Amino acid sequence: MGAVIIKTIAVYVARGITLLLAVSVLSFALASASPIDPETRYRLSHPGVSDENVERMREYWGIDEPPVKRYFAWLGGVLRGEWGTSTAYRQPVLDVVGVRFKTSLALMMTAWTFSGLLGFSVGCVMGVFRGRWQDRVIKRVCLIMCSIPTFWIGLVFLAVFAAALGWFPFGLAVPPGVPPEAVTLGQRIHHIILPAMTLGFLSFANLALHTREKLIDAYGSDWAIFARARGESDVAILFQHGIRNALIPAVTMQLGSFAELFGGSVFAESIFSYPGLGAAVSAAGTGATDIPLFLGIVIFTACFIFAGNLIANVLTLIIDPRTRRSTGI
Amino acid sequence: MKKLNRRTAAAIIAAAILAVILAIYIGGALLPAAAIDADFSQKGLPPSPGHIFGTDFLGRDMFVRTIKGLSLSLTVGAVASAISAVIALAVGLTAALGRGIVDHAVNWFIDVFMSVPHTVLIILISVALSRGAAGMLIGVAVTHWVSLARIIRGEVLQIRSAQYIAAARGFGKSRLWIARRHVLPHLLPQFFVGLILLFPHAIMHESGLTFLGFGLPPERPAIGIILAESMRYISSGAIWLAIFPGVSLVILVLLIDKLGSLVRYLLEPREAQM
Amino acid sequence: MKKSSLKTIIAALLAAALLCALAAACGGDAASNTDPSATPTPTDSVGKKDEVIIGFPGIPSGFDPLVTAGHGSYVPLLFSTLVALDADVNVIPDLAESYEVSEDALTYTFKLRSDARFTDGEPVKVSDVLFSLQTIMETASEIDLSVIDSVAAGAEGDTVIITLKHPQSTFILTMSGIGIAPEHLYGAGFAQSPVGSGPYKLAQYDVDQQMILEANEGYYGKAPGIRRAVFINMSGEDQQLIAARSGQVDITLTSATIAAVNTIDGYNLLVEKTVDNMGIVMPTIPAGSGTSSLGNPMGNDVTCDVNLRKAIAYAIDRERLCDEALSGYAAPAYSENDGMPWWNPESVIEMDVDYAISLLEAAGWTDTDGDGIRDKDGIKASVPVYYFAGDSARQAVAMSAANQVKENIGVELLVEGMGEGDIMAIMVAQPMILAWGSANPITSYYLYHSSSVGRDDWYNPESFASAAVDGYLEAALGAKTIEDAIPFWQKAQWDGETGTSMRGECPYIFLVNKDHLYFRRDGLNTGDQMIHAHGASWTLVANLKDWIWE
């Protein structure tokens, strides 16, 4: 069994590397196609700059080189750990990404856990009450929630919980004016709740509906029918049998949702001025476009998503022996 | 008899929804641009009978802006979904009808698209095309074909392994003939429903993208732009600027979703759950 | 797979996720043993008499005085400048206790004070000044010191001698914005941990969140009343309002729209008059006039008509503009430097719709098709006006002006927001809203001199070129002193016949000088502020060392 798993992981990683390469080509090509080239940006931010200086900078950026050569120069840098310098932060891209990822990870993991627990529990409730009015009402609510854009939920939370009720701060990751070393865990949690709730809403309804389906399947199984015949209640069946069947698909689904999670964080972070990777993507794309940072974040998120999918697949492999026979993923 | 009634009811509801959507679309297109010119004598008014959604801080009527925004969303949604659906059809068919290596290649290609968060990819495409309407349309279109392509691939594979296809092949019919006579007719309903269900996603992405400031100039009344502007005034208490356009967007998305499931039910009553 | 091990895996996964979340939430730094009570929280510090918390958009990404200069920057807070400016734009001593200018205005001799020290304890030496100026000259990018021929140490050992290639009346103003960096510390990483000799030192900063300045104990000037200033990154108007309302900041920027409908107990609204003007810049040459340095086609067939430009300028009631678009928190603008010593008061014009219409009629602009918009030779008097998307003040001003112009004289301005990069590609061909305002008249030179044409920066996108104006601008810049230059700067605006003002060639239609607005906690005295230049943030804190709590 171990050998099969290792082989599968190896195949998956090899495939992942080709995917990452393709993503790097795609994003580099798109970024290079941007009409706002480095020279325009330079002239924008340095009015009155001399032509000699512009010429010197052109050489420095290598914009007269062919794109393929520039791509390989950039890729080589990425592999060596030199991801370029962010034009907005004037710091190495890796440093900026590192600091912001740490902040984002806190948010994403909180939201991920929150939506996972909530979505699964709600799914279980629907499963137990399947077909009855409780199920129908919750299901309808979940379907509606699937149609609500993340950014609008964020706005509503902002209006209700921050502006009207004043329960939570209006944004940022830490209270203003406090040095980082003095910020307490409580303060951080206080700041993370609204953006995390916003982000969590993205996937919770989906997960609940998914879990409901799995539970309904489970209740239809021979085992469940037998148990009911023995006089066991739906709730008892849920704990003995249902949860086990529904949990794995739920965890797998959550692990596979990293891409959506990150996409959602762009909105949640922008609305709550939460200084993470998502807000950085949006900022890097607006104004004087920060291409090095943008590319860095794309590559970084692709790795992150790949890792999530890898874990999901390996987990499925370990838990569900049926998939172990075929190596195709 | 009862079944017929249900189908008739579904058809009527679907027609009604379609009429509402068309009314929003035509209404938005017909309302003159002058209706949302700045009128500083009317600025910052809460909802009232004269301005049922209130006015913003340039004195523009929020109801007219919202309708125009929804109309624009529908246009973007329609164009983007149509492009998406065509890509999906092409990719799905290629994957299913080509063999082995082609199928693998297409799957790999799909995985490339799934490796980058869609929001990020759309922003990247929008930046590459200098953030205009074209960038937004293409961005939304090229990130939405994946799910439909997978459905089409699966569907074709299923049809291909069916008995009657084997029979047709046995009779010496060409692949093209089989595709035209057997595969396409089975595929079209799926394709059509898939197309409708792409719509809400496209609209949500469009509004999200304009919300972040990519896509359209701020004078264009896109829902995302309206909501992004409203953020500035939430703290001053003007929450009507955020609430009404947002609720309208959600209702529109729900209507299209409902329309999709009704159409599915009408086309394939056995598979659809009402 | 056994049931128990499955449970273990799931439990482990969930636990790991939670731990990750918490660990990341704590952040690496939080693990250090700092006692939280040792550092005051904002609520403690509010009301303390030597601290101030400022809601501030745009914490800089670095602090390198040899890259960034200017009065409107961090330079006067962290670094010494040879000379400084007072609230009335007079040159006053700073690092140089005195300076002399030679008769031919080519040689400036600065005598340095002896008691200035960098915050690491090292004295500020002549060599540091030479090093700073030379570094800027060699790597010149944002700071233009190309007028300097040479810099040298004087024989006395405490003087710096700067020789110019040709006289430049604004040179001393330029020097008032250039910070002196320590030669022994300057190098890679300096921008992130700067050391200067100004009234404050940088105690801590994080580009996304905040920067904290603390008073420089060894400062040679008057000890600042504010010993610690926390600048909190706050770019949204809503955030700024909420922060003030909840008492988290002592002073914060705000906007006219917000200020008009919100008052906050315990705070007053600080209204600073400015030269932060907004105007519509209009291409002065016809389409097909060639391309700019980046290959963008230049010129516009509607706005190249000076009569049309002037008609628009005269058709606008600027007081109404201030009321409508900026809730009254603005003043009419008539030039890029209203009220500055080098401003020509004759650039003021009165609204005169009849005159505007007569200009249009005489130039052949009539409404032939009855659609309410004038036309001429098949060209409609309709042009777009672009502004930077997201700038709500510019948007409102442009829309209000467009309403008036359409109503009064039948000329259509179609207001549209756009990103900076996209505007850049079309600004040599289409009107757009720009904002200027500077404490240095050299801005006028860049704005209107023909050498700025077609260079794809924000200077002279209108391709304005006038031999007469060029002559005045060159004479002004080449004058020996600021005072000598004033008549020439004024004549460049209006000499009785021509000029850059709306009375003359009217390349710019100036609209308003917008007030800079702040919610300020009662009791905070922000000192005598120099008339605010463009940008509301650094101009506010330029005199931070004069602030006090009352």
Least Cα distance to A196 among C24, C27, B227 occurs for C24
CB contact under 8 A, B217 and C389: yes
C418 located within any domain: yes
C475-492 burial, b at 16+ Cβ within 10 Å, e below that, comes to: bbbebbebeebbbbbbbb
The whole-angstrom separation of Cα C460 and Cα A244 is 71
Q: Which residue among A19, A30, A159 sits closest to B234, beta carbon to beta carbon?
A: A159
Per-residue pLDDT of C327-383, as tens digits, reads 999 999 999 999 899 999 999 999 999 999 999 999 999 998 888 899 999 899 999
* Report for C238-252, C382-396, C429-443, C483-497: range of highest mean pLDDT: C483-497
C23 band by pLDDT with thresholds 50, 70 and 90: very low
Q: What are φ and ψ of residue A136, in 5° steps?
A: -65, -40
Residue C122 burial class via C-beta count within 10 angstroms: exposed 0-12, middle 13-18, buried 19 and up: middle
Residue C44 has pLDDT above 50, yes or no: no
- Clarify whether residues C111 and C97 are in a common domain: yes
The whole-angstrom separation of Cα A124 and Cα B134 is 44
- pLDDT at residue C38, as a whole number: 35
Are B206 and B179 spatial neighbours (Cβ–Cβ below 8 Å)?
Answer: no
CB contact under 8 A, C424 and A172: no
- Which 3 state secondary structure label does DSSP give A133? helix
The side-by-side arrangement of strands in the sheet containing C277-281 is: C330-332, C508-514, C277-281, C432-436, C382-388, C412-418
The DSSP secondary structure of A242-291, one letter per residue, reads IHHHHHHHHHHHHHTTHHHHHHHHHHHHHHTT--SHHHHHHHHHSSS--H
Residue C234 has pLDDT above 70, yes or no: yes
Per-residue pLDDT of C430-455, as tens digits, reads 999 998 888 889 999 999 999 888 88
CB contact under 8 A, B239 and A159: yes
- Clarify whether residues C62 and C20 are in a common domain: yes
**C51-56 and C228-233 strand pairing:** parallel
The DSSP secondary structure of C187-231, one letter per residue, reads STTTTTS----SSEEEEEEETTTEEEEEE-TT-SSPPPS--EEEE
The whole-angstrom separation of Cα A36 and Cα C418 is 13
C494 band by pLDDT with thresholds 50, 70 and 90: very high
Residue C31 has pLDDT above 50, yes or no: no
- pLDDT at residue A322, as a whole number: 54
Place of tokens 């990069």: C421
- Which 3 state secondary structure label does DSSP give C508? strand
Residue to substitute from A30, A87, A209, A313, interface B, most B β-carbons within 10 A: A30
Taking CB atoms and an 8 Å cutoff, what residues of chain B touch A159? 234, 239, 242-243
User: Quick count: other Cβ atoms within 10 Å of Cβ C132?
Assistant: 22
The whole-angstrom separation of Cα C294 and Cα C457 is 10
Q: Which residues pair with C179 in a beta bridge?
A: C81
Mean pLDDT, rounded, of chain C: 86
- Clarify whether residues C197 and C311 are in a common domain: no
| Min Cα–Cα distance to chain A from B126, Å | 9
Residue A233 in tokens: 């209640």
> Which amino acid, one-letter code, is at C19?
L
- Clarify whether residues C323 and C245 are in a common domain: no
C448 located within any domain: yes
- pLDDT at residue A183, as a whole number: 78
- Clarify whether residues C237 and C173 are in a common domain: yes
Q: List the single residue in A with minimal CA-CA distance to B252.
A: A147
How many residue pairs from chains A and B have C-beta atoms closer than 8 A? Answer: 141
Q: What value does the CA radius of gyration of chain C take, rounded to a whole number of Å? A: 27
| Min Cα–Cα distance to chain B from A34, Å | 4
| Min Cα–Cα distance to chain C from A89, Å | 5
- Clarify whether residues C282 and C245 are in a common domain: no
More confident residue, C459 or C39: C459
Place of tokens 């074209």: B134
| Min Cα–Cα distance to chain A from C450, Å | 13
More confident residue, C215 or A74: C215
Residue C250 burial class via C-beta count within 10 angstroms: exposed 0-12, middle 13-18, buried 19 and up: buried
Q: What is the CATH number of the domain that holds C188?
A: 3.40.190.10
Are B187 and B155 spatial neighbours (Cβ–Cβ below 8 Å)?
Answer: yes
C-alpha A143 chain-centroid distance: 22
The whole-angstrom separation of Cα A27 and Cα A29 is 5
C-alpha C366 chain-centroid distance: 40
Residue C284 in tokens: 């002065």
> Which amino acid, one-letter code, is at C420?
E
Least Cα distance to C237 among A160, B225, B235, A157 occurs for B235
- pLDDT at residue A274, as a whole number: 85
Q: Which residues pair with C98 in a beta bridge?
A: C111
The whole-angstrom separation of Cα C435 and Cα C534 is 7
Least Cα distance to B76 among B23, B20, B144 occurs for B144
Q: Which residue among B37, B234, B236 sits closest to C262, beta carbon to beta carbon?
A: B236
Q: Which domains does chain B have, with CATH numbers?
A: 6-33+60-271 (1.10.3720.10)
- pLDDT at residue A137, as a whole number: 92
- pLDDT at residue C385, as a whole number: 94
Q: SS3 sequence, C301-343?
A: CCCCCHHHHHHHHHCCCHHHHHHHHHCCCEEECCCCCCCCCCC
Q: Which residue among C24, C238, C457 sits closest to A170, beta carbon to beta carbon?
A: C238
Residue to substitute from B65, B210, B235, interface C, most C β-carbons within 10 A: B235
What whole-number percentage of chain C has pLDDT above 70? 90
Residue A122 burial class via C-beta count within 10 angstroms: exposed 0-12, middle 13-18, buried 19 and up: buried
Number of domains in chain C: 2
Per-residue pLDDT of A155-209, as tens digits, reads 888 888 877 787 887 777 777 666 667 778 888 888 888 999 999 887 888 889 8
Mean pLDDT, rounded, of chain A: 81
Residue C235 has pLDDT above 90, yes or no: no
- pLDDT at residue C22, as a whole number: 41
A45 band by pLDDT with thresholds 50, 70 and 90: low
Are A155 and B246 spatial neighbours (Cβ–Cβ below 8 Å)?
Answer: yes
- How many residues appear in chain B? 274
Residue C191 in tokens: 């921008």
Residue C86 burial class via C-beta count within 10 angstroms: exposed 0-12, middle 13-18, buried 19 and up: exposed
Per-residue pLDDT of C510-547, as tens digits, reads 999 999 999 999 999 999 998 888 888 899 999 999 99
The whole-angstrom separation of Cα A244 and Cα C2 is 12
- Clarify whether residues C469 and C496 are in a common domain: yes
Least confident of B233-242, C423-432, C466-475: B233-242
Q: List the single residue in C with minimal CA-CA distance to A111.
A: C21
Residue C228 has pLDDT above 90, yes or no: yes
Per-residue pLDDT of B149-204, as tens digits, reads 888 888 877 777 777 777 777 777 777 777 777 777 777 887 888 888 888 888 88
Residue A182 burial class via C-beta count within 10 angstroms: exposed 0-12, middle 13-18, buried 19 and up: buried
Residue C35 has pLDDT above 70, yes or no: no
- pLDDT at residue C132, as a whole number: 94
The whole-angstrom separation of Cα C201 and Cα C217 is 9
Q: What are φ and ψ of residue B56, in 5° steps?
A: -95, -170
**C382-388 and C412-418 strand pairing:** parallel
Domain A93-289 has CATH 3.10.180.10: no
- Clarify whether residues C268 and C296 are in a common domain: no
Residue C372 in tokens: 């309410």
Mean pLDDT score, A309-322: 74
- Clarify whether residues C195 and C324 are in a common domain: no
| Min Cα–Cα distance to chain B from A274, Å | 14
The separation between the first and the last C-alpha atoms of chain B, rounded to the nearest angstrom, is 18
- Clarify whether residues C301 and C344 are in a common domain: yes
- Clarify whether residues C214 and C282 are in a common domain: no
What is the span of the domain harbouring residue C161?
6-273+515-549
- Which 3 state secondary structure label does DSSP give C415? strand
Q: What is the pTM of this model?
A: 0.79
| Min Cα–Cα distance to chain A from B224, Å | 9
Least Cα distance to C244 among C223, C259, C228 occurs for C259
- Which 3 state secondary structure label does DSSP give A76? helix
- Which 3 state secondary structure label does DSSP give C55? strand
Taking CB atoms and an 8 Å cutoff, what residues of chain A touch C421? 35-36, 40-41, 44, 287-289
- pLDDT at residue A327, as a whole number: 39
**C516-521 and C91-93 strand pairing:** unpaired
C1 located within any domain: no
ipTM over 0.85: no
Residue to substitute from A12, A100, A151, A297, interface B, most B β-carbons within 10 A: A151
- pLDDT at residue C80, as a whole number: 94
Residue C218 has pLDDT above 80, yes or no: yes
Distances (CA, A) of A310 to A105, A255, A316, C15, C417: 18, 9, 10, 19, 44
Region of residue C343 (phi > 0: left; psi between -120 and 50: alpha; otherwise: beta): beta
Q: Which chains touch C (3 or more CB pairs under 8 A)?
A: A, B
Mean pLDDT score, C93-119: 93
- pLDDT at residue C3, as a whole number: 44
Residue to substitute from C46, C238, C420, interface A, most A β-carbons within 10 A: C420
- pLDDT at residue C440, as a whole number: 87
What kind and span of H or E run contains A295? helix A291-319
C70 located within any domain: yes
Distances (CA, A) of B212 to A281, B215, B226: 10, 9, 11
Residue B3 has pLDDT above 60, yes or no: no
What kind and span of H or E run contains C383? strand C382-388
Residue B14 has pLDDT above 80, yes or no: yes
Q: List the single residue in B with minimal CA-CA distance to A159.
A: B234
- pLDDT at residue A287, as a whole number: 61
CB contact under 8 A, B38 and C399: yes
CB contact under 8 A, C418 and B217: yes
- pLDDT at residue C369, as a whole number: 86
Q: What are φ and ψ of residue C149, in 5° steps?
A: -90, -50
> Residue ranges of the domains in chain A?
93-289
Least confident of A10-14, A325-329, B207-211, C227-231: A325-329
Per-residue pLDDT of B199-253, as tens digits, reads 888 888 888 888 888 877 777 778 888 888 888 787 777 888 888 999 999 999 8
Mean pLDDT score, C49-63: 87
A324 band by pLDDT with thresholds 50, 70 and 90: very low
Chain A window 80-119: which residues touch B at a Cβ cutoff of 8 Å?
none
Q: What is the CATH number of the domain that holds C492?
A: 3.10.105.10
